[in-house]
Copies of this chain bind each other. A is one copy, B any other.
Amino acid sequence: MLQLARCDQQAIDLAKAKRVQKWQRDPEGMRLRILEAAKQEFAAHGLAGARVDRIAANAGANKRMLYYHVGNKEDLYLAVLEGAYEKIRSEERGLDLEHLDPPEAIERLIDFTWNYFLRNPEFLALLNTENLAKARHLKRSTKVKSMHSPFVEMIRTVVTRGVESGDFRVTVDPVQLYISIAALCFFYLSNSATLSVIFGRDLLKKEARDERLAHMVALVLAALTGKSTADFGKAVGQGVRPPAHQPV
């Protein structure tokens, strides 16, 4: 008792003397940490499986902070989702496909999409979660709808140029083409866990990834140009080909 009282007195003295702070203000930083933690949590467990307490803990924050800075669980989720879309579209805008000749532009688009998904696995999980919810939240979002037409136009331009130059034999709906490219990348990575079990291969190891990228590029370009590249995926046998292509 006496001892305790002495300690308390000491603590107070220290607090006054050295101005010991229990915490410091940082609203912007806090908000970012919250959103980052939320992204990881939603990506790892889905909307229903995510735990608000875990988000708070991983953000190094008090649970109350989530509600103070962002809102309830669903607001948090929507904020994360919007952020994720903004990020990928912003990177895509920097792709600059106009200056490449069409086949190279397509290859670059595939390469980018693949590596973006590889670098941002949470993005895949978030999209799946949102689709499970039938895009309920995305529909409410005003931000997201506007940011996609420029991208489609960019692809349309590439296709048109390719057809005019004779590089591409046929014309394609740019939306279909983009969906197909995204599909080839997305499905492989998003479902790699079950596919690896089913086919008894580790689909995420380096060689497998390189092989997959080569396969996708070959598939799409062969279809568009009619010229079959040599490397269409590893042979029917077991040999593994060296990667034909490296991330940017």
Report which of B144, B159, B187, B216 forms a contact with A198, defined as CB distance below 8 A: B144
Q: Taking CB as reference atom, which chain B residue is nearest A44?
A: B132
For the complex, give the distance between the alpha carbons of A215 and B134 in Å: 24
**Identical copies in the complex:** 2
Report which of B135, B156, B200 forms a contact with A193, defined as CB distance below 8 A: B135
- Residue A212 interfacial (CB < 8 Å): yes
- Residue A232 interfacial (CB < 8 Å): yes
- Residue A173 interfacial (CB < 8 Å): yes
Q: Which residues of B contact A191 (CB under 8 A)?
A: 127-128, 131, 186
For the complex, give the distance between the alpha carbons of A192 and B130 in Å: 11
Q: Taking CB as reference atom, which chain B residue is nearest A157?
A: B236
By the criterion of a CB under 8 Å from any partner CB, how many residues of chain A are at the interface? 72
- Residue A171 interfacial (CB < 8 Å): yes
For the complex, give the distance between the alpha carbons of A203 and B138 in Å: 16
Instruction: Mark out the residues of chain A between 158 and 181 whose CB falls within 8 Å of any chain B CB in the assembled complex.
Output: 159-160, 163, 169-177, 179-180
Q: Which residues of B contact A65 (CB under 8 A)?
A: none
Q: Which residues of B contact A132 (CB under 8 A)?
A: 44-46, 49, 125, 128-129
Closest 6 CB pairs of A and B: A48-B49, A183-B187, A135-B193, A222-B223, A223-B223, A170-B232
